[in-house]
Amino acid sequence: MITGGAGFIGSHVVRLFVAKYPDYRIINFDKLTYAGNLENLKDIENADNYVFVKGDIVSVEDVKKAFEKYEVTDVIHLAAESHVDRSIEGPMDFVMTNVVGTVNLLQQAKENWKEGEHVFHHVSTDEVYGSLGEEGLFKETTPYDPRSPYSASKASSDHFVMAFYHTYGLPVKMSNCSNNYGSHHFPEKLIPLMIHNVVNNKPLPVYGKGENVRDWLWVNDHASAIDTIFHSGRIGESYNVGGLNEWKNIDLVKFLCQLMDQKLGRSLGESEKLITYVKDRKGHDLRYAIDATKLEKELGWKPSITFEKGLEDTVDWYLNNSEWVEKVTSGAYKDYYENMYSDR
Ligand code: NAD
Ligand code: DAU
């Protein structure tokens, strides 16, 4: 069972598993919040080895029913509230889904997996390690130091996952990944939001001075890392996943603007004029950077494409899928955008 399979990363993981493992029955368990969208999976919805179940990981009844009905043998857990800015506005949804929902899944796995071989793969984030200065990389041994309500909720869920391993022997694996980008990314996150605003000639809101640094990984490479860790990683271990691809936000936005100028046939520098520095995010972590050596050395995983190629493909996808963008940005998105950016 894959939870959160209708979201950004989850839909790429579901698609990969449905295509690569015809003998598995892939159950996509998702509540379909604002971030979940079955349009993301239109191309595989009729596949023989695929089932969609609408359910809430917080509900004991929903999760128990899915475990029993489908005799769930393994879990890849991606369902979460994932956006840091939303967690600053309202942390409770993050506590419910990310903490309570994860414990509910662990509990059902523990009760249903009395015998046989199983894996509970928990998908987490590099944000649990806190914020780096100019130097250094997050390793699996870096102490946890979460600083936003989002990262605090993910850190808490990680601790519960490891607690179920140590206390009950539940066969868990964990991965902590850096920032993803790619197709089907909801335009609340930096890259799809900037693409959407450039297309619509709207201001490009860069928080603070734009000096914060993130490590960007193509979403399909994250999906392949999950596949590798799920199948070959060691039980009870966590693996960092990253792109060795650090960008200051302002440099990334400028680079994206140049690419968009080319794609839209605008004169070079035109999109950049839309950049607007706005009030910083509260408690904005300065820098994230991942050391993925363990994953590379132990399991042979590496990112498959360069950032330049991945970003160009991503821009092309957004320009060729304006209907998808139109659908996800109508309705509630407008209220979210107004609330988040109008007096920033
Ligand atoms: P997303 O917000 O795009 O999708 C989340 C999905 O979870 C949606 O389909 C939503 O409907 C579903 N969901 C939310 N609450 C639920 C609930 N209570 N019950 C069932 N389903 C629910 O998230 P994403 O960016 O795809 O992230 C997926 C996972 O990867 C998360 O756990 C996130 O913390 C982690 N992660 C994300 C990134 C990133 O850059 N986006 C990086 C590292 C780790
Ligand atoms: O590091 C992994 C994490 O990456 C994941 O765990 C989270 O689920 C995911 O949302 C992402 O978190 P970030 O906060 O890093 O991503 P976001 O796209 O929101 O922001 C990236 C950077 O861009 C960050 O420094 C804030 C800045 N930013 C973001 C937005 C939305 C802006 O300057 N302007 C914006 O409008």
Reported as a single tens digit per residue, the pLDDT across 302-337 is 999 999 999 999 999 999 999 999 999 988 999 999
Q: Please tell me the distance from the alpha carbon of residue 110 to that of residue 123, in angstroms, as a whole number.
A: 18
Give which of 120, 119, 125, 121 is closest to 155, Cα–Cα.
125
pLDDT at 12: 98
Residue 126 annotated as catalytic: yes
pLDDT at 25: 98
In whole angstroms, how far apart are CA 178 and each of 57, 105, 213? 24, 24, 11
Single-letter amino acid code for the residue at 121: H
pLDDT at 163: 98
Which residues partner with 278 through β-bridges? 207
pTM over 0.95, yes/no: yes
pLDDT at position 211 over 90: yes
67, 72, 74, 77 alpha-carbon torsion, rounded to 10°:
-40
Q: What's the average model confidence in pLDDT over 14-27?
A: 98
pLDDT at 331: 85
Catalytic residue among 126, 158, 221, 227: 126
Share of the chain above pLDDT 70, in %: 100
Catalytic residue among 50, 129, 150, 239: 150
CB count in 10 Å sphere of residue 199: 17
The model's pLDDT over 279-293, given as tens digits with 9 standing for 90+, comes to 999 999 999 999 999
**Vertex 313: Cα angle to 308 and 318 (nearest 5):** 125
Q: What's the average model confidence in pLDDT over 57-71?
A: 98
Q: What's the average model confidence in pLDDT over 239-256?
A: 97
pLDDT at 320: 97
Between helix 307-320 and helix 249-264 the angle, nearest 10°, is 50
Residue 34 annotated as catalytic: no
Tokens of 281: 């995010």
Q: Which ligand is nearest to the CA of 96?
A: 1
pLDDT at 343: 85
Count of structural domains, the chain:
1
pLDDT at position 344 over 90: no
Residue 150 annotated as catalytic: yes
Catalytic residue among 62, 81, 127, 285: 127
CATH number for the domain including 176? 3.40.50.720
> Which structural domain range is residue 302 located in?
2-341
CA of 82 to the centre of ligand 1 (A): 5
Q: Please tell me the distance from the alpha carbon of residue 325 to that of residue 308, in angstroms, as a whole number.
A: 22
Share of the chain above pLDDT 90, in %: 97
pLDDT at position 155 over 90: yes
pLDDT at position 77 over 90: yes
CA of 84 to the centre of ligand 2 (A): 7
Tokens of 242: 């990253």
Q: What average pLDDT is seen over the chain?
A: 97
Q: Please tell me the distance from the alpha carbon of residue 188 to that of residue 131, in angstroms, as a whole number.
A: 22
In whole angstroms, how far apart are CA 69 and each of 27, 62, 73, 109, 312? 11, 11, 12, 14, 42
Task: Give the largest Cα separation in the chain, rounded.
Answer: 64
pLDDT at position 172 over 90: yes
